[in-house]
Amino acid sequence: MILGLDISTSISGLCVVDNDGTVVYNEVCDTRKYKNFFEKAKHIKKKIENLKYPIDKIFVEQSLQSFRSGFSSAKTLSTLSRFNGVVSWICFQHFGIEPEYIAAPTARKLCGIKMIRGQKSKELVLKHVLDNEPGFVVLYTKHGNPKPGTYDRADSLVIAKAGYSICQQQTK
């Protein structure tokens, strides 16, 4: 079984796919209420330790490596990178498996998601997941937006499916 993670200091997505590529678990770990970095890590550690699946491979969305105008600051990128490392270590300690990292564009490409210039990647990913995963359910706010955590679940699912694709290629 493959664990796919979309790690963030606010809401992290976790997805498990079985040996046939079927999604068996897709949830989020909401750490927004914790202000302390280590409290956030402790909360996600508990979520990971409660996974009752025989995980064989772990794939993590690679944290951003560079600045883009209008996006994350150096401090934010540094914090995300540290948190990504801490959660990766938690996974290694718990499962005894070294996580592999996949860049988001690579994961989307492996899943057949075509990016359209000018469209938000989160929305394209969610549309792809809704079109291809019948079990993926989206709850909406009263304003018609996906509830918090929806995009994180979708991203973790894409990472897990990309990991599955990589494993399939390696066995051929």
pLDDT digits (tens, 9 = 90+) for 39-65: 999 999 999 999 999 999 999 998 755
> CATH number for the domain including 58?
3.30.420.10
Q: Are 139 and 126 in contact (CB under 8 A)?
A: no
Count of domains forming the chain: 1
The neighbouring-strand residues paired with 101 are: 60
The pLDDT of residue 43 is 96
DSSP 145: P
Whether the per-residue pLDDT at 23 is higher than 90: the answer is: yes
Mean pLDDT of 139-154: 93
Mean pLDDT of 134-162: 94
Query: Considering only 30-39, 78-87, 113-122, 158-167, which range has the smallest mean pLDDT?
Result: 113-122
Segments forming the whole domain that contains residue 100 = 2-171
Mean per-residue pLDDT over the chain, rounded: 90
The pLDDT of residue 71 is 52
pLDDT digits (tens, 9 = 90+) for 160-171: 999 999 999 888
Q: Which residues contact 52 (CB under 8 A, 6 or more apart)?
A: none
Euclidean distance between CA atoms 107 and 34, whole angstroms: 29
| Identity at 38, one-letter amino acid code | F
Residue 11 — left, alpha, or beta (φ > 0 → left; ψ -120 to 50 → alpha)?
A: beta
pLDDT digits (tens, 9 = 90+) for 62-108: 875 544 445 556 777 788 889 999 999 999 999 999 999 999 999 99
